[in-house]
Amino acid sequence: MFGDRVPRALDGDYAPRAAAKLLDKDAGIAVARADRLHVEAPFARLAHRTFAAAVVEGGGDDDDAVLIRRALKAVRLPGR
């Protein structure tokens, strides 16, 4: 995934191949199932929160590489 998403994100290519809103839905299903089984599932919960935030910010139809765009906004790079 890293070798695929990062170069596209850095090039500004967010054309959907795996739309963030679909991955938000899938992560939500995983979290709901974990809840029913009384399993913590911290990575599924983090993924769900992260994809949900991207959707709320208007990136739901973008590729899941939109998460990299969100992360770069939060990181202060030298010279920026």
The CATH code of the domain that includes 44 is 1.10.1040.10
Rounded to whole angstroms, the Cα distance separating 29 from 77 reads 35
Provide the residue range defining the domain that includes 60: 2-74
Q: Does 80 fall in a domain?
A: no
Rounded to whole angstroms, the Cα distance separating 4 from 37 reads 33
Quick one: pLDDT band at residue 17, thresholds 50, 70, 90? confident
Closest to 50 (Cα-Cα) out of 39, 35, 64? 64
Rounded to whole angstroms, the Cα distance separating 53 from 15 reads 18
Residue 1 has pLDDT above 70, yes or no: no
Q: Does 79 fall in a domain?
A: no
The DSSP output letter for 57 is: I
| Tokens coding 65 | 């590489």
Q: Does 30 fall in a domain?
A: yes
Q: Does 67 fall in a domain?
A: yes
The dihedral over CA atoms of 6, 8, 12, 17, expressed in degrees to the nearest 10, equals -110
Residue 19 has pLDDT above 70, yes or no: yes
Q: Does 61 fall in a domain?
A: yes
Domain count, the chain: 1
AA letter at 6: V
